[in-house]
Every structure is written in C-alpha cells, then in structure tokens.
Amino acid sequence: MGFISNSDHGIDAGLMVVMLIKFFYGSFYGIFLDDPGLRVCIVIGSFLIQIKPSFLDLALMLYKAPPALYLGVHMARCVFCEIARGSESSWKVYEDQEIMVFLDRYPISYGHILVAPKQHYEDVVRTPPHLVSRAFVVARAFGNASMRYIGATGFRIVTNTGSSAGQIIFHFHVHVIPRYSHGDSGPIEPRAEISDDIAERVVDLYRKAAQDPEVVGMIRGER
C-alpha cells in the first residue's frame, strides 16, 4: 500500500512537477512547493530510484509532509515577503494594502528607496499590470518627494529584471534613486550599509512628504 493508491488527489501537481524535472534534468528529481514568499526545493539524487518504497511513493510522501520534515532541505526565503509580513525589520517609509516603500539597506544615493507590491511576484514581467502601474505611480510620487523633501535635484526610477540585469532580490521592486548636483550620491558612501542616524533622518523626511497633499494625490494616482 503506497501513497499513490491512498492518495485523495490521484496524480497531483507535485507529482507532475517531479515528472517534469525528471524529464528535464535526468539524473535528479525535485519537488518544488511554491507558497507566497517561501520556495521549498527538494532535490534527490537518482540513486533513490533504487530503494524501496518506490521513489514515486517517497516523492508523494515528501510532497504531503508537514514543513518540519523539510529540515536540512534547501529553503530559499524571500526577504521582501518577510518585510511585508513584518517578520524582517526594515526602514519603512509608506505602505497601503498593495504597496510598501522602504529604504534600500545599501543605498546608491542619499534617499534611495524601493517600491514593491506586498504580494510576491518574481519580476516586472510576472507582476499583474495593475500592480506594475501602482509601483511606478508610487515611485513617481516618492521621486517627486525626494526633490521636494530630501534635497535631490533629480532622480532615476529603475527596475532590474533577471540576474544579468543586476536583479538580486527576486521579488519585483522599483528603485527610486535620487541624484544631487554636488555629486551623484549625496552625503553618503554609495553601497555602504546605511547608518541608523541617516536612515532615521531619511525616513522622517519621506514620512513628512507622504503627508503632503501633492504627494498624497500622486501616490493615489489622482495627479
């Protein structure tokens, strides 16, 4: 009596993934479980096909197993999902139901912030259009805020897509990078970890900006 014959679901999504991986990778088998923000990947060497119970029973057993059984298994966590949930600390500037804005921990310039949907989507291509729009509309509002409240003389809005384009966190986000006439990055060392006092100052300024009726209207997409 194996898990296949006992299964309520018959051949389900997990098994289909295993079969696909078998097809594409040959000597390795894997199970991927995608929860929002939590990617669990189990890769098992092909030698397991030799042992009893049969590999497919084992695969289904692992697929249905509670998370505690995944100890020791490679788990890639998403830091932006953890920020959205509040389980990872961040210098948050603004948030609503869909969008969050927080400081880049390793800013390129003074006032460098990130705008991201709270929901997990890997990159701009995989994000639903209305959230892409909202992220850029909110980025535009905070770019304006950087000129009016942080002292920037210009700003860049950019999203990196794919590791070859410099994407490091695979949760869609838009950078707002203020620029300054007295040098590109303002009064910080680019890409050094932000200090607490600079972060507190920048958060205060952006939060003040987020009360400004003009910025509020831009965040809402009304102006």
Catalytic residue flag (residue 130): no
Q: How far is the CB of 215 from Zn ion (least distance, A)?
A: 26
Complex with Zn ion: residue 35 or 184, whichever CB lies closer = 35
Complex with Zn ion: residue 37 or 111, whichever CB lies closer = 37
Choosing from 130, 173, 175, 182, which is the catalytic residue?
A: 173
Backbone angles phi, psi at 56, to 5 degrees: -65, -35
Indicate left, alpha or beta for 133 from its phi (over 0: left) and psi (-120 to 50: alpha). Answer: alpha
Nearest in space to 110 (alpha carbons), one of 181, 180, 215:
180
Q: How far is the CB of 122 from Zn ion (least distance, A)?
A: 8
Angle at which helices 129-145 and 196-209 cross, to 10°: 100
- Distance from C-alpha of 41 to C-alpha of 49, rounded to nearest angstrom: 18
Site residues for Zn ion per CB under 5 A:
37, 78, 80-81, 120, 171
Complex with Zn ion: residue 44 or 116, whichever CB lies closer = 116
- Do 17 and 32 form a contact (C-beta atoms < 8 A)? yes
Nearest in space to 112 (alpha carbons), one of 141, 137, 84, 146:
146
Q: Are strands 113-117 and 174-179 parallel, antiparallel or unpaired?
A: antiparallel
Complex with Zn ion: residue 37 or 178, whichever CB lies closer = 37
Q: How far is the CB of 120 from Zn ion (least distance, A)?
A: 3
Q: How far is the CB of 88 from Zn ion (least distance, A)?
A: 11
Q: Catalytic positions, please?
A: 173
